[in-house]
Each structure stands twice: as structure tokens, then as C-alpha cells.
Amino acid sequence: MVAHADLPFATTFDPVTRDADRPIAVLVPDQRSDGTPVLSLPARAPLAFSYGPGSFRRHLDAARAAGLAVRVVRDPSLSFDLDTVDDLREVSARIPELLTPTTVRS
């Protein structure tokens, strides 16, 4: 499984890992259905990783071309990744304390 570090709402990867022993590619599209913040596939699968705009479609096509079954997981906690200033604003609106400076008292 590959999960990127810019997933501020991720709490579990259970929806992705339940097929770990099967020849299935599990793809989590981002909130715009464009990128792939989480991807799980068999370790020996002949799949090239792709990054940037359009990576979800490229991963989907590559998994199918490699003969893998595909399961798409649309989970808001795993699909929301930080790519734009608007994404940071969304995080700030939903969890203000994440982006607010704190005061350290001694």
C-alpha cells in the first residue's frame, strides 16, 4: 500500500487493506477524482506508479492492463489530500487548531 503524507483526515486504512491477499488493485481517488492519494496492489504487480494530474485514470488503466481486478474506494477521510491553497483553507475551516500557531508556556 502507498499512502501519501498529505491526508489530514485519514484515521484508518481498513477500507483499502481488506483485499491484501488477493490480486486486486485498490485505488482511492482524491476529492477531485483526479489524483491517487492511496493505492494498494500486490507487491509483484507490474504496475508503474504515476503522479500528478490524471494519475487516478492512469493507475486505473494500468491496473486493468496488468490483469488486476480493480476496486475503487471513495472514502472522504482518505480521498482528501492537500494539493492547493483552497485545500489548506478547507482544512483550516474544518480543523482550525491544525493551522493555528500555539503558545508554549514554560
Name beta bridge partners: 2: 39
What lies within 8 Å, CB to CB, of 47 at 6+ separation is 25, 41, 59, 62, 63, 66, 68
What pLDDT, on a 0 to 100 scale, did the predictor assign at position 75? 95
- Give the global pTM: 0.83
Q: How confident is the model at residue 13 (pLDDT cuts 50, 70, 90)?
A: very high
Q: What domains are there in the chain, each with its CATH number?
A: 2-81 (3.90.550.10)
- pLDDT tens, position by position, 33-85: 999 999 999 988 888 898 889 999 999 999 999 999 999 999 999 999 998 89
What pLDDT, on a 0 to 100 scale, did the predictor assign at position 43? 87
Q: How confident is the model at residue 98 (pLDDT cuts 50, 70, 90)?
A: low
Task: Tell which residue, 41, 31, 35, has the closest CA to residue 79.
Answer: 31
Distance CA 25, CA 47 (A): 10
